[in-house]
Structure 1
Amino acid sequence: MAGQESIFNVVSNGIIDVLTYIINSYSGLLQILVYLIMASIFGFALVKSYQSFRALSFYDFSKVKSRRSLHHLTADIKMPLALLAASFFVRTKLHYEQEQQRGTVDKVIPPDAFIRDAAFQFSERYFEEKFLEPVAMMANLMPPMGFIGTIIGMVVHFLANSGTLNTEITVAGIATALYTTFIALICFTFLEFLRKVFYALAHRRIDEGLSAITLLADDVPGDRG
């Protein structure tokens, strides 16, 4: 039993010595690395936020002359969300009508309210997968990165106070512990705020796109929506 305890002591002391050496030699590099990773995560979130703003931009449906022009549109990251919702509604309605004309559908065409609800859910899920989920993932990564920076900074501070590390890095350790947490929380709050704004605005744009359908010329045979 004593032999096992001595082995554990040797292993634990060896791990501590290795970690102490790494922090003593590369504490500055570790702190810079944490800041760079946080900056990269936040930068990617800003890119997705810009794409979200672009997708949520207002679309003037007066440019669309008829519903027929919406049939060939396909989902694209640059496509306004309102236009995407309108296109999905029209293509779904036309699909049911064509199937009925071929005789493959015996039942009546679903009412417009049903298709509208399906278009709303499709557009909402599309926007969440393409934009909101990446922003939320990046936002959720910020607090753990801040916590890692805090741990590194506190280890540097405590080891410096114990005399194990160079005392001149004590202030740097405290700064890392405080700044990483502060920056991470600020970035997390900002991204979460943007995500909430995007979510509310997405519903508005989808409603605008589906409402615009009734204003377009009904030039598709059998389309009475």
Structure 2
Amino acid sequence: MASTMLGDEMMTWLVTGLALAAVCVPATQGLRTALCAWSATRRVSFEELQSGKVDRAGASEPLALLMLRVLQKSLREGEREGQPSDFVYDATRQYVINEYEHHYARLITMYASLLPPIGFIGTTGGMLILFLSMHLADDSLELGALAIALTSSVFALMAYAGLEAMKIRVYSRLLDALRDVEALYQKADAKREQAAGKPAKLSGAAA
């Protein structure tokens, strides 16, 4: 009797471990990508934005600095071609968001999308094994089937919800970082317009 209970417990833990291992592969990859995105969307201080360098090195370059560098280059080229600065800013902002989507958001979504099918496969397989165990009247097999049917779905849904929640939080961090660049751009644009307007006022007064 004791050996039977021990065998049932071992079967349950073994199947639970297999279900957890199947979920851990995409969940770990998605979490690694989310952590890289967390580093890339960190906010940069005003002094660091002005200098174009960060004091602390990270796993990846902050997207705020990428936007600032691309914006400065685009504004110089836009002035020669006569393009409005607001148009250049909007295009640069969209470029940085596309970079975020390509390198981070899509990967997190793909890894997260693998988790519900894995949970469904585990549940379906567990139910098939459960029917087989009922036919064979095997209690240990029945417990293992119930374990894989329940734990695979629970682990998969928890990991899926965690990755999606982290993706939402990372996107919020990205918007905050881009707002800092926007504030710096608006200050520089106001100074540029003010400097461009002063000579006109002086020449009008002299006339």
TM-score (normalizing by structure 2)? 0.74
Q: CA deviation at 1:88?
A: 1.1
CA distance in 2, matches of 1:64, 1:84: 10
CA distance in 1, matches of 2:128, 2:143: 12
Structure whose residues are more often helix by fraction: 2
RMSD: 2.8
CA 1:169/1:206 → structure 2, altered by over 3 Å: closer, same or farther? same
Q: CA deviation at 1:45?
A: 1.0
| 1:204 counterpart residue number | 176
CA 1:87/1:209 → structure 2, altered by over 3 Å: closer, same or farther? same
Q: CA deviation at 1:77?
A: 6.8
Contact 2:19/2:148 (<8 A) preserved: no
| 2:7 counterpart residue number | none
What is the aligned counterpart of 1:148 among 103, 113, 121?
Answer: 121
* Number of matched pairs: 176
CA distance in 2, matches of 1:64, 1:199: 20
Contact 2:126/2:148 (<8 A) preserved: yes
Q: CA deviation at 1:180?
A: 0.7
| 2:20 counterpart residue number | 35
Q: CA deviation at 1:215?
A: 4.9
Q: CA deviation at 1:42?
A: 0.7
CA 1:144/1:56 → structure 2, altered by over 3 Å: closer, same or farther? same
Pairs within 5 Å for 1:84-123: 84-97=66-79, 100=80, 108-123=81-96
CA distance in 1, matches of 2:144, 2:14: 12
Q: Name structure 1 gaps, 5 residues minimum.
A: 1-26, 71-75, 101-107, 218-223
Contact 1:123/1:206 (<8 A) preserved: no
| 2:109 counterpart residue number | 136
TM-score (normalizing by structure 1)? 0.69
Q: Name structure 2 gaps, 5 residues minimum.
A: 1-11, 190-195, 197-207
Deviates more, 1:141-150 or 1:204-213: 204-213
| 1:83 counterpart residue number | 65
CA 1:65/1:209 → structure 2, altered by over 3 Å: closer, same or farther? closer
